[in-house]
Structure 1
Amino acid sequence: MVWRRYPIDSIWHEMDEMREEIDSLFRQMSERGRLLPAGGMSDRMLPAIRGEFRVDVREHDNDVIVVADLPGVDKEAVSLQLVNPRAIEISCERSDEREEKGKGFYMRERMSGSMRRIVALPTDVTDKDARASFRNGVLEVTLKKTKDAKKSRIAIE
């Protein structure tokens, strides 16, 4: 290890380099099919492992529709906020507890975490007449296009 003038900065820099190297190795293994086949399971699983979620944004005549995949999340744990006329924030908490008993063993697992993403929108929108629904782990938000909008929360039906 090389000591630099500022050892604390060096540690964080080295950790960033290690993380980038590990991400690169996972990408290489995925591309070669040794971890998960590219274009299949890896595209669905790796974002969830990293605490990310997929989002689609569509623009229609008077609306902008945002669809987010939030598997394993309860509706009550999802929060939406119009950050500015061109961005919406989707955040959620996820937790899961499993218990398994059998002859000669007992297992209990807990998983929890939070996810947050600010989604850029193609045009200015408003929260007036906004609609949001959450079914089977899929969040769909419909926002009206506008010329003037403000920051606000959107209730999920």
Structure 2
Amino acid sequence: MYESMLSFPGAVFGDFERLRRELNEALAPTGLPSSIRSVAPGSFPAVNVGNTPGSVEVYAFAPGIDASKIEVSIDRGVLTLAGERRLTGAPDEQKKTSVYGRERISGAFRRAISLPDDVDVDQVQASYRDGVLRVSIARKASAQPRRITVQ
């Protein structure tokens, strides 16, 4: 008479999740992040954040920026990346050029990334190569797993 929930098709739940996401996108105010940890679509620079057993790794994809003009700072557990991207190779607006599309973001930017509590802010390395800013923050030695020998 009643079917078991275990035999209920799993694809239905996937359809509900897809519908929920589509409704959130349709009803959410445009350009605003969907949660406190996310950012608005099109935020610059795009970042990947990950970790290794010994460090937290942040990669920011920011082509066309002078490395000496990128500011990297850590304050109270928040990594901040800031700088300015100048628009080069674009039509000159003083010549009354009609622009039909502009997809490259230009101007000042600032990204803030929350860091875990076990990072050592005294051991930070930052490098910029081929349009990718890499920031590596070491974890505190006290947070590292260590092996204890049994006597």
Alignment match of 1:53 (pick from 19, 42, 45):
45
The one-letter code of the counterpart of 2:69 is: A
Deviation beyond 4 Å, 4+ runs, structure 1 = none
The structure in which a higher percent of residues are strand is 1
| Percent of matched pairs sharing the same residue | 26
Which TM-score applies when normalising by structure 1?
0.51
The structure in which a higher percent of residues are helix is 1
For residue 70 of structure 1, what is the aligned residue in structure 2? 62
8 Å Cα contact 1:90-1:117 kept in structure 2: yes
Q: Deviations over 1:98-128 (max 9, x none)?
A: 4779xxx885x9x841110110123432232
For residue 125 of structure 2, what is the aligned residue in structure 1? 131
For residue 139 of structure 2, what is the aligned residue in structure 1? 145
Gaps of 5+ in 2: 1-28, 33-40, 100-104, 143-151
Structure-2 separation of matches of 1:93 and 1:83:
20
Which TM-score applies when normalising by structure 2?
0.53
Gaps of 5+ in 1: 1-19, 25-45, 149-157
**Superposition RMSD on alpha carbons, in Å?**
3.3
Q: How many residues align?
A: 100
Please tell me whether Structure 1 or Structure 2 has the larger radius of gyration of its CA atoms.
2
